[in-house]
Amino acid sequence: MNELQPPRGTHDLIGEEQRRHRHVIDTARRIAGTYGFEEWSTPIFEDTRVFTRSLGETSDIVMKEMYTFEDRSGDSLTLRPENTAGVCRALVSNGLTQSLPQKVFYAGPMFRHERPQKGRYRQFHQIGVELIGPSHPIADAEVIACGWDILRELGVSGETVLELNTLGDKESREAYRAALVDYFTARRAALSEESVARLARNPLRILDSKDEGDKRIIADAPTVAHYLTESAAALYAALKAHLGRFGVPFRENPRIVRGLDYYNHTAFEFVTTALGAQGTVMAGGRYDGLVAEMGGPPLLSGVGLAAGVERLAMLLPEAPAAPPSVVVIGIGLDQEEKAAIEIVQKLRHSGVRAELSYHASLKRGLERAAKMGAPAVVLIGSDELAEGKAVVRNMSLRVQGSYDVPDGVVNRVKEILGILA
């Protein structure tokens, strides 16, 4: 066995897995485009402060999972563990805070040093959308609707459920946090070690505990609904009404919290049981104030979502088929090979996926074409060359004919493929 293997928590994308991966990203890009989102690409590493300021010093990502290093200039850099903070940094860095709203789509790799498990890697990929500027709850609903349409277009919406919650405004969260501290402090002895640590740092994160003992305690914990200010409750009610207008089904889950400190008001997750235990495949929420952490104007609103490409790819009902190639076989010596190259390039420049056989043997060339599932094969030998023609064989119907090189060949191939103008 080769001792050189991918680092733990990473994997190669090859063949069917790569086609699934690309299909998820291409579909998300297309659907986001119909909503008016424009694609941005930010660096895969940022100044470490982009994440320590935005994610919260006590978040699990900052404390345990970030890939942080010092470069040769002594600057602290971090491979991005998520991309919302990077998008907000880019908004400020490029002077776009006066050109709102900004509707952003992104796709690319993220990095977290966590325990690898099914569908989760240390280098993983996300697609996401961010809508920065509007404070109206219709913006939240539109982002969620875009996510729902992506799942629908991928054919996986039937296996996912949107769970919705609100975290309220600052005043609501402070009152709710105090209630949770009182509740969990009274039950501190029964909490897991991790939840005891969270009790001091961020008690809302206890609600996200996977420990079975914690879950029993959490079941009777207070919910945020009792601590919402009038304005926070009104925003949440409006969001639910707008989701109905967008045709997005949901169920409320008062236990949803987001693991990053910048979230407020809307919090949501699209969850599934199709991958075993219930897991989240897409999630997001509102992050008013995050742009200010990047040096932008205060209280600028933002809402977004992100989805793990690997997990969505695993949910696809079937892998996209590899696109078929037409195979061109030159049977003979230099002149036949030259003619084959001319034909294959003419096909490619006409928008047809085409390959040379690399075999001078007709038998081996046809065997390779059949194995590839080629819909058509172009054959040119000395006799055809002398007449300025080539044979085009329809592989499914097993019929063939001679056609002029190159235009007659190109037209016949396109006819077989069903793309003749």
Give the 3-state DSSP-derived string for 71-123, with helices as H, strands as E and coil as C: CCCCCEEEECCCCHHHHHHHHHHCCCCCCCCEEEEEEEEEECCCCCECCECCE
- 46-50: average pLDDT: 94
158/290 same-domain check: yes
Phi then psi dihedrals of residue 332, to 5 deg: 145, -145
64/165 same-domain check: yes
Confidence check: pLDDT of 247 > 90: yes
- 162-183: average pLDDT: 92
Which pLDDT does position 260 carry in this prediction? 61
Q: Is 183 part of a structural domain of the chain? A: no
Q: Is 377 part of a structural domain of the chain? A: yes
270/403 same-domain check: no
CA distances from 76 to 52, 67, 182, 298 (A): 11, 11, 38, 26
Q: Is 289 part of a structural domain of the chain? A: yes
Band of pLDDT at residue 238, cut at 50, 70 and 90:
very high
Q: Is 179 part of a structural domain of the chain? A: no
- 321-339: average pLDDT: 89
Confidence check: pLDDT of 354 > 90: yes
CA neighbor of 87 nearest in space, from 302, 311, 258: 302
The larger pLDDT score, comparing residue 340 to residue 2, is at 340
Which pLDDT does position 1 carry in this prediction? 62
283/345 same-domain check: no
Give the domain CATH number at 363: 3.40.50.800
- 385-394: average pLDDT: 95
Between CA 191 and CA 182 the distance in angstroms is 14
119/248 same-domain check: yes
Domain final residue, candidates 290, 315, 340:
315
**pLDDT tens sequence across 269-314:** 999 988 766 589 999 999 998 999 899 998 899 999 999 999 999 9
Q: Is 421 part of a structural domain of the chain? A: no
Band of pLDDT at residue 58, cut at 50, 70 and 90:
low
Full residue range of the structural domain in which residue 271 is found: 16-169+229-315
Domain final residue, candidates 315, 335, 351:
315
Which pLDDT does position 209 carry in this prediction? 84
Q: What is the dihedral of CA 411, 417, 418, 421, to 10 degrees?
A: -30
43/133 same-domain check: yes
**pLDDT tens sequence across 182-231:** 999 999 999 998 899 888 888 888 888 888 999 999 999 999 999 999 99
Give the domain CATH number at 262: 3.30.930.10
Mean pLDDT of the chain: 91
**pLDDT tens sequence across 361-388:** 788 889 999 999 999 999 999 999 999 9
24/118 same-domain check: yes
Which pLDDT does position 255 carry in this prediction? 86
Domain final residue, candidates 315, 346, 377:
315
Cα angle 149-89-260, degrees, rounded to a multiple of 5? 65
274/362 same-domain check: no
Q: Which of 137-141, 206-210, 249-253, 326-330 has the lowest average pLDDT?
A: 206-210
Which pLDDT does position 257 carry in this prediction? 78
Which pLDDT does position 300 carry in this prediction? 93
Confidence check: pLDDT of 261 > 90: no
**pLDDT tens sequence across 68-116:** 999 999 999 999 999 999 999 999 999 999 999 999 999 999 999 988 7
Residues facing 284 on adjacent strands: 268, 305
Q: Is 398 part of a structural domain of the chain? A: yes
Q: Is 23 part of a structural domain of the chain? A: yes
How many independent structural domains does the chain possess? 2
Between CA 223 and CA 215 the distance in angstroms is 14
311/338 same-domain check: no
163/45 same-domain check: yes
Band of pLDDT at residue 332, cut at 50, 70 and 90:
confident
Q: Is 419 part of a structural domain of the chain? A: no
40/162 same-domain check: yes
Model confidence, pTM: 0.90
Which pLDDT does position 375 carry in this prediction? 96
156/116 same-domain check: yes
